[in-house]
Every structure is written in structure tokens, then in C-alpha cells.
Amino acid sequence: MTDTGNDVSLAGFRPDQLEGFRIGVTSDRRSEDLIAALERRGAETLHAPAIRIAATDSDVQLNLDTHAIIEASPDILLATTSYGIRRWFEVADAAGLGPDLTATLAHSRILVRGPKARGAVRAAGLEDSGMSDEETTRSLVDKVLAEGASGITVAVQLHGFTDRPQLERLRAAGATVLTVEPYRWILPDDASRVLKLVDAICTGSVDAVTFTSAPAVDALFAAADEAGKLETVLDAFSETVVAAAVGPVTAAPLFAAGIRPIVPDRYRMGALIRLVCEHLEEKRIFRLDTAHGHVELRGRLVIVRGKRATLAPTSLTLFRILLSARGSVMSRADLTASLPEMQDDHAVDVAISRLRQALPDSGLIATVIKRGYRIDV
């Protein structure tokens, strides 16, 4: 399932809003719009399409399903996605079935899942009779069942994969169900970018990951599981990395995994961009006054008295821990526990040395003899 929209321009714009932040983008279709919007606001992006939309292997089955729908003259059509409706009519027109399909559906009651599907229906010369309350297939089916489904024929335009539980709900209520699948979701040809994103999530070198479809969430988790890193990914999403979903359908597998994503009130891409900007600015910028001046940490970017430096993952983790302590001493044991790759005090000392070298002012990190390290506040 997908939740998308064309409201990219609605998000407020400042070229430094996301400066210092790195954001993973898992979408394939319309990813250029999302990436451009994030980068215009100062973010670095890591594009790793977890799945991609593909036409069905053969239009033969699509045309057979179209024939069946024309012959059945369904009482109701459930239109779920803009792309699916557009491609369905394009293939029907190419096969000479377009006029018959349009004439048949003109006598059907058309219910749409969201405004984009409504736009595609109207572009085909048809009118819809209503929209789902939550812009989900489930709420579309709820609408049909509330009005009585016994004895009616319902055609369902599928959206990348077969939502069998919803189809079974209709059949159990006595409806005859016909389906048409204009496209499907498939894994990308090159999985290396997804694995690179998995590694970035595990090391904390991305601050947020955006999702615009539920299958993309499932695909990312599957890739992480295959690499033996699923638990680390889930922990990262629960602690340091923000999961941002465009709508409740997309968010569902995240909630099921125990992750609390941020979700905009309006299920559109522009609203998602705005929410990501607001959340990172409000929740993920750390500021502290120190003996060496005001410190601001934005993602991987640390700014001290106007001087800037970008931190590597290990240095970033150490610096976040020390900043969060606000001048309290962090023992070597505490720092070792936060960085499993560090096996002893010597490794901590080496990592602190590298952090000092990376900072705009090495004096920010003070050594407390026999106790550990702290920020010099």
C-alpha cells in the first residue's frame, strides 16, 4: 500500500533547516521530488530504494481481467491508486477495450481511496461517489460493508500486492469480488544500496529514514534480517534514528515492530517533508553553553563559535553521550558500554583522542584524572 501526494511545495522552506542531517530515502517512484526537497533544505540524502513499481509481467492477464470486469458490469469499483488507474486505462486503450471499460464503469459506483486516485478517475472521464475516511483499503471495504455487500459485484484495483484479508471480508459478506492488477511491487535490481542504508542505520550515520509505502518497510527489514542486523536496526529506530512514514498505511509495519514513527496529519509528501524538518529542528538539535563557547550539534555537524566540523559515527556517538551528560563525568566503563566495538579503556582513550582532533576546539573534552571524561562547561 502507498500513501502519496503532490503537496511537496507546501513545506516551509529555509535552506539551512536540515543542515548537518543525513536522511535515508527508501522510495523509488517520485524519489527525485523528495530528495530535491530535502537537499534544498540543507540535508544530505542517502537514496536506497527498497522496492520499485513494475508493470505486470504480461498485459495478457490484465486484459483478461478487464474483459471479466466489463462482462460482469460491477456494482462498485474500488479505485486505490492514481498510477494503477492510469496504467489500467492505458493498457485497456491499447487493447481496444478503453471505450467499453469506460462505458461499463460509468454505470458503477466508484469509491476512491484518496484524492490522487480521485484525480485519475476523473481524468478517465468518470466520477467517483466518495472517498475512504482514512485513505486505506480497509476503510474503503468498511464503507462497502456498512452499506451492505450481499449479492453485489465489487471490482478492486489492486495496488502492488493482493490485500487478501480485505478481499475475504467482502466475499464473507456475500459479494462477488473481481480484481485487476495493473502493476506490482518488486525488489530492486541492485540491493547494495539497501544494505548501505542498513549499515548507516546501525552506525547512527543517518538521522532519519523516510518511508512512502508499507512494502518498503518490510523490504528494508527483510534486508536487515538477511544481513543479521535486524535487531540492531530496530534498536536504532527506537533510540537514535527517526522513522518518518507518509501515512498510517505505511506506518503500520513500523508500529508492528515496536517502532513509533512520526506521521503527518495530512498523508502527503509535502506534509511529510514539513514534519521531518520540524521534528529534527525541535528534537534533534543539541545546544549547550560551554567554557569554550556555545556548542550546537545538528546531526553529524558540530558548530562551535561559528567553526564547523563533521563527525564520524564513533566520534558522533561519544560526543552525543558527553553532551547529554551536560558536564557530568562519564567513566570509561560508561563509554565502553555505549560503544560495543570498544573492548577496553585504551580503545576509549584512542576514540576520545580522535574526537578531540575532529572538533573545532579540542578543549571541549576535559579529562578527569582516574574518573573519565566530560564536556568542559
- 146 and 65 within one domain: yes
- 62 and 174 within one domain: yes
pLDDT of the residue at 114: 85
Which of 283, 302, 318 lies at the terminal end of a domain, its last residue? 283
- 365 and 321 within one domain: yes
- 303 and 268 within one domain: no
Which CATH number characterizes residue 321's domain? Answer: 1.10.10.10
Looking at the DSSP assignment, which residues form a beta bridge with residue 372? 368
DSSP label of 126? -
2 close to 81: Cβ distance less than 8 angstroms: yes
pLDDT of the residue at 5: 45
248 close to 3: Cβ distance less than 8 angstroms: yes
- 279 and 176 within one domain: no
31 close to 47: Cβ distance less than 8 angstroms: yes
pLDDT in tens, 234-249: 999 998 999 999 988 8
Phi and psi (nearest 5°) for 55? Answer: -65, 155
Query: Which residue segment(s) compose the domain that 304 sits in?
Result: 285-375
pLDDT in tens, 149-188: 999 999 999 987 667 888 999 999 999 999 999 988 777 7
What Å distances lie between residue 214 and 3, 21, 142, 245, 341, CA to CA? 9, 24, 20, 9, 33
- For residue 217, tell me if it sits in a domain: yes
- 172 and 61 within one domain: yes
Which amino acid appears at position 212 of this protein?
A: T
What Å distances lie between residue 28 and 46, 75, 155, 300, CA to CA? 12, 34, 28, 26
- 293 and 277 within one domain: no
Which of 228, 258, 283 lies at the terminal end of a domain, its last residue? 283
pLDDT of the residue at 28: 83
28 close to 54: Cβ distance less than 8 angstroms: no
Which CATH number characterizes residue 264's domain? Answer: 3.40.50.10090
- 108 and 84 within one domain: yes
Which of 283, 318, 334 lies at the terminal end of a domain, its last residue? 283
Residue 3 has pLDDT above 70, yes or no: no
- For residue 1, tell me if it sits in a domain: no
- For residue 3, tell me if it sits in a domain: no
pLDDT of the residue at 188: 78
3-state secondary structure 331-347: CHHHHHHHCCCCCCHHH
Give the contacts of 199 (CB within 8 A, at least 6 positions apart).
229
pLDDT of the residue at 163: 73
pLDDT in tens, 53-100: 777 667 899 999 999 999 999 999 999 988 899 999 999 999 999 999
- 331 and 208 within one domain: no
- How is 239-258 classified by DSSP, letter by letter? HTSEEEESSHHHHHHHHHTT
- For residue 2, tell me if it sits in a domain: no
- pTM score, whole prediction: 0.74
Domain count within the chain: 3
pLDDT of the residue at 7: 43
Residue 6 has pLDDT above 70, yes or no: no
**Which three-class secondary structure state does DSSP give residue 156?**
strand
Residue 9 has pLDDT above 60, yes or no: no
